[in-house]
């Protein structure tokens, strides 16, 4: 994929996305946060509203080091399908587990985290692997990919300042034949859907990986949300 395929109209995150989805396909935001992350403000209700408005069918809730909101959202009917994920801090940088059934602690070495993700049938997703502005895996992403320990590379993260970092991630995916995906990394409701993947509908992690093979990624760049504290009821 060329970088231009990623480029959406700047500043249009407030506009509804086009909904030219193919029959039988779903639109997935593979990486986003709720207030349970501690540095994000989105409630589950706001997430559900925003996703429905923007024709997102599936959200991967990938809070920092917790799965409580993802589990709660998955157990309720919020009108949007939920994949339970977690963005897990390791000494080498952040890694995301998708399709988790158990929370993974954030003090563990990367190899241990990867083996815990896979041990519970989850997928190892490399978020913004080359963004130096955040806790990214960098060289560890290359080592994991070369060792067959990565399942998905995030080739479009909507919040990367230097867009060439996404292009480098796309090259990593291509070199290792890994499926590419995209996430808004939204920490506020307005950011949800800034990047997404249109893909054939899927069931479970194996189906998700298969479907990514046919995926079409779209995204637009969006600055980081202003961080501010917020009381969330309940």
* Site residues for Zn ion per CB under 5 A: 87, 185
Q: Which is nearer to Zn ion, 127 or 179 (CB)?
A: 127
Q: Which is nearer to Zn ion, 25 or 87 (CB)?
A: 87
Give the nearest distance from C-beta 62 to Zn ion in angstroms.
Answer: 6
> Mind spelling out the 3-state secondary structure of the chain?
CCHHHCCCCCCCCCCCCCCCCCCCEEEEEEEECCHHHCCCCCCHHHHHHHHHHCCCCEEEECCECCCHHHHHHHHCCCCCEEEEEEEEEECCEEEEEECCCCCCCCCCCHHHHHHHHHHCCCEEEECCCCCCCCCCCCHHHHHHHHCCCCCEEEEEECCCCCCHHHHHHHHHHHHHCCCEEEECCECCHHHCCCEEEEEECCCHHHHHHHHHCCCEEEECCCCCCCCCCCCCCC
Residue 40 Cβ vs Zn ion, minimum distance, rounded to whole Å: 9
Q: Which is nearer to Zn ion, 86 or 87 (CB)?
A: 87
Q: How far is the CB of 53 from Zn ion (least distance, A)?
A: 21
Residue nearest Zn ion (C-beta atom): 185
Question: Given the complex with Zn ion, which of 40 and 144 has the nearer CB atom?
Answer: 40
- We find the least distance from the C-beta atom of residue 209 to Zn ion, in angstroms, to be 20
């Amino acid at each position: 994929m060329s970088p231009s395929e990623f480029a959406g109209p700047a500043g249009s995150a407030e506009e509804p996305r086009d909904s030219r989805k193919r029959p039988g396909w779903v639109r997935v935001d593979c990486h986003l946060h709720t207030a349970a992350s501690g540095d994000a403000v989105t409630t589950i209700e706001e997430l559900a509203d925003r996703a429905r408005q923007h024709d997102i069918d599936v959200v991967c809730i990938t809070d920092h080091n917790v799965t409580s909101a993802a589990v709660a959202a998955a157990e309720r009917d919020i009108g949007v399908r939920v994949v339970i994920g977690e963005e897990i801090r390791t000494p080498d940088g952040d890694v995301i587990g998708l399709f988790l059934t158990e929370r993974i602690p954030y003090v563990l070495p990367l190899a241990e985290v990867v083996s815990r993700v896979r041990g519970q049938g989850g997928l190892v997703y490399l978020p913004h692997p080359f963004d130096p502005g955040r806790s990214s895996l960098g060289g560890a992403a290359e080592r994991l990919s070369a060792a067959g320990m990565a399942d998905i590379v995030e080739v479009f993260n909507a919040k990367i300042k230097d867009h060439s970092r996404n292009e480098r991630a796309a090259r990593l995916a291509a070199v290792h034949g890994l499926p590419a995906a995209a996430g808004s990394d939204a920490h506020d409701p307005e950011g949800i859907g800034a990047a997404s993947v249109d893909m054939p509908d899927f069931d479970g992690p194996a189906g998700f990986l298969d479907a990514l093979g046919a995926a079409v990624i779209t995204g637009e760049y969006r600055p980081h949300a202003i961080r501010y504290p917020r009381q969330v009821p309940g």
